[in-house]
């Protein structure tokens, strides 16, 4: 018989919060472990400009876009644009969720890429592998924001599901801010699929 120790819901060493200087400015970085054992990150400005409602970006991990600057998607560009905009405003946070490939994981995402190389769009590639088109959850993102006192935010997103994910878990979204960046010929089909088949709000791409 295997003894299974339950994982914490929003627990981590109290020292897992530190200053993180970046090329965009100084953030604090905080790590919190979810019930699946994933280490999620909150990148936030410590001394918020209290005159404005904090700007928040919920960003799902994308190794190919965030680290390798893939042009198949707009993820890396969105992450860096959000970091710059939050610093420019002086108030806000990025919740970096370990939900690679819209929740299917890195290996499956690369398998889906192979199908896309053969003509399937990003949604049909997932479905052809027997996987959901989008398997992400935003409950833990809301918990991380509430932990630093973010009860009301402006949300930097094109995805209405992220707005609902916060609203349904105790964080009021006062305004949705569009976040269209990094569009190029190599990812235009990917973006059009998100707009036409997945409900993302992306006019004029």
Per-residue model confidence (pLDDT) at position 12: 55
Rounded-to-integer distance, Cα 7 and Cα 39, Å? 12
Per-residue model confidence (pLDDT) at position 11: 58
Does residue 136 have an active-site annotation? Answer: yes
Provide the number of structural domains found in the chain: 2
**Are 123 and 133 a contacting pair, CB within 8 Å?**
yes
User: Taking 90 as the threshold, does the pLDDT of residue 4 lie above it?
Assistant: no
Per-residue model confidence (pLDDT) at position 202: 82
Q: How many CB atoms lie within 10 A of CB 193?
A: 19
Per-residue model confidence (pLDDT) at position 47: 77
Rounded-to-integer distance, Cα 7 and Cα 34, Å? 8
Asked if the structure places residue 204 within a domain, the reply is: no
Q: Catalytic pick from 136, 154, 176, 197?
A: 136
Asked if the structure places residue 12 within a domain, the reply is: no
Q: Catalytic pick from 34, 111, 134, 154?
A: 134
Mean pLDDT along residues 62-78: 96
Per-residue model confidence (pLDDT) at position 191: 87
Asked if the structure places residue 156 within a domain, the reply is: yes
Per-residue model confidence (pLDDT) at position 1: 31
Percent of the chain with pLDDT over 70: 93
Domain that holds residue 153: 17-99+137-197
10: pLDDT confidence band, cut at 50, 70 and 90?
A: low
Q: Are 116 and 184 in a shared domain?
A: no
Q: Are 69 and 92 in a shared domain?
A: yes
Per-residue model confidence (pLDDT) at position 65: 96
More confident position, 1 or 139? 139
pLDDT tens track for 72-102 = 999 999 999 999 999 999 999 999 999 999 9
Dihedral of CA atoms 5, 137, 105, 27 in degrees, nearest 10, equals -90
This model's pTM is above 0.75: yes
Q: Are 30 and 126 in a shared domain?
A: no
Q: Are 74 and 151 in a shared domain?
A: yes
């Amino acid at each position: 018989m295997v003894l299974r120790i339950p994982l914490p819901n929003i627990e981590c060493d109290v020292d897992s919060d530190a200053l993180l200087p970046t090329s965009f400015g100084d953030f604090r970085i905080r790590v919190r472990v979810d019930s699946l054992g994933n280490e999620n990150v909150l990148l936030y400005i410590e001394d918020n400009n209290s005159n404005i409602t904090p700007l928040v970006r919920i960003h799902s991990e994308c190794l190919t876009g965030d680290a390798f600057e893939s042009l198949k998607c707009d993820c890396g560009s969105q992450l860096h644009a959000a970091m710059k905009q939050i610093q420019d405003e002086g108030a806000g946070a990025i919740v970096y969720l370990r939900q690679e490939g819209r929740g299917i994981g890195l290996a499956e995402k690369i398998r889906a890429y192979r199908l896309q190389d053969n003509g399937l769009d990003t949604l049909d590639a997932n479905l052809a592998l027997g996987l959901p088109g989008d398997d992400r959850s935003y409950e833990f993102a809301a918990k991380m924001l509430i932990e630093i006192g973010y009860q009301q935010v402006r949300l930097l997103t094109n995805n209405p599901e992220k707005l609902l994910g916060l609203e349904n878990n105790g964080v009021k979204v006062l305004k949705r801010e569009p976040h269209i960046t990094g569009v190029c010929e190599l990812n235009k089909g990917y973006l059009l699929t998100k707009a036409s088949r997945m409900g993302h709000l992306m006019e004029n791409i």
